[in-house]
Amino acid sequence: GAVVSQHPSWVICKSGTSVKIECRSLDFQATTMFWYRQFPKQSLMLMATSNEGSKATYEQGVEKDKFLINHASLTLSTLTVTSAHPEDSSFYICSAKLAHEQYFGPGTRLTVT
């Protein structure tokens, strides 16, 4: 139980385009989901907390107009990277909260060319 999926697993896009990443909790409902970003050989950096039915809470330094988060249902949160640039290339990981624990998705590797 407690499986989280992400789609796509990897994506390559051109600079200036937008990319949407989906995070789904497959066998449980998650009121709260989290989005992280991880650069090579660095730790996970929390980007935002996504609560179902309300606006996401962004961490300091994360542009909310660039990283659009929508948590429209108890099993789905989406992260849209708008007007992507090469510096946005990273490993994006979501997690879904169940009780006190976070269950992580497999991650999405984004490469912006």
Partner 1 sequence: GQNIDQPTEMTATEGAIVQINCTYQTSGFNGLFWYQQHAGEAPTFLSYNVLDGLEEKGRFSSFLSRSKGYSYLLLKELQMKDSASYLCAPSTDSWGKFQFGAGTQVVVTP
The residues of the shown chain that bind partner 1, judged by CB under 8 A, are 32, 34, 36, 42-46, 49, 51, 91, 93, 97, 100-107, 109
CB burial string 30-53: b at 16+ within 10 A, e below: bebbbbbbeeeeeeeeebbbbbbe
Sheet harboring 19-25: ordered strands across?
Answer: 4-7, 19-25, 76-81, 67-73
Q: Which is nearer to partner 1, 65 or 101 (CB)?
A: 101
- The nearest distance, CB 83 to partner 1, in angstroms, is 26
CA 70 to chain centre: 10
Q: Which is nearer to partner 1, 46 or 83 (CB)?
A: 46
| Minimum gap (Å) between residue 49 Cβ and partner 1 | 6
Q: 86 in helix, strand or coil? A: helix
In the bound state with partner 1, the residue whose beta carbon lies nearer, of 78 and 107, is 107
Smallest separation, CB 15 to partner 1 (Å): 24
